Each structure stands twice: as C-alpha cells, then as structure tokens.
Amino acid sequence: MKALDYFLSALLLVVAGLQINDPDPAYWVLVYGLGAVIPLAHSLGKRPQFLAALTIGMIISGIIYAAPGFIDYLNAGNFGSITASMDGPATYVEPAREFLGLSIALLIVGYYVQRWRTA
C-alpha cells in the first residue's frame, strides 16, 4: 500500500506545483500541498488527524465556493467545455475545474481518514 501512498502524494504535489501559475496560487498550492502530506505521512506510519481535519475544512470551503459554477457547468450541458480555454463566454469552466479538483483531493484525504478510523 505504500506505493499507493507515494502515488497519491506525488499526484497532489504535481497538482500543487501546477497551481503556482494560477492568478491566485496561495490557496491552491496550500490546499493541494497539505493534501499531499496526508498520504506521505501515512506511508511513514503517522496519522496527522488535525492536519487532515484542517485540510478537509479548506477543501470543503473551496468546494462550497466553486459549487455555483459547477452547477452552471452541469446546467449548460456542454461537458466538453471543461477542457476549453477560460477566455471564452463559459465563465463556469474555471469553477467547474476547481470543484472537480477539490473533490478528488477530498476523496484522497477522506480515504486516509477512513483508513485511520478502521485500523
């Protein structure tokens, strides 16, 4: 299972690194960077429960913020627009991407919290 821990940690670190070019990188680099610490800590036998709770809170806050844009994306029905440029008229593209990325991060961190509860 350590291979999964390393993979998920690396995945979140790569995503955090990609956020450096974002117009507002602080939140995104921090949330994905903290998310990356959780599987890495697990691989080292640690259970940073406070850090996991803090990260989940940050992720849920971002999901709530991005939810209206994600709903607009779903209502538009133009699902291919998720890969389109953000310069176009579809203002929901960026929040939809943020919502999906944070949802993946939430699944990863939640997976480790659940593992700690059942171990």
pLDDT of 87 over the 70 cut: no
pLDDT of 49 over the 70 cut: yes
In the numeric block, which tokens belong to residue 68?
């209206």
Predicted structure pTM score = 0.92
* Closest among 19, 42, 27 to 108, alpha carbons compared: 42
71 pLDDT tier (thresholds 50, 70, 90): very high
pLDDT of 88 over the 70 cut: no
User: 23 or 3: whose pLDDT is higher?
Assistant: 3
Is there a contact between 10 and 44 (Cβ–Cβ < 8 Å)? no
What is the reported pLDDT for 83? 79
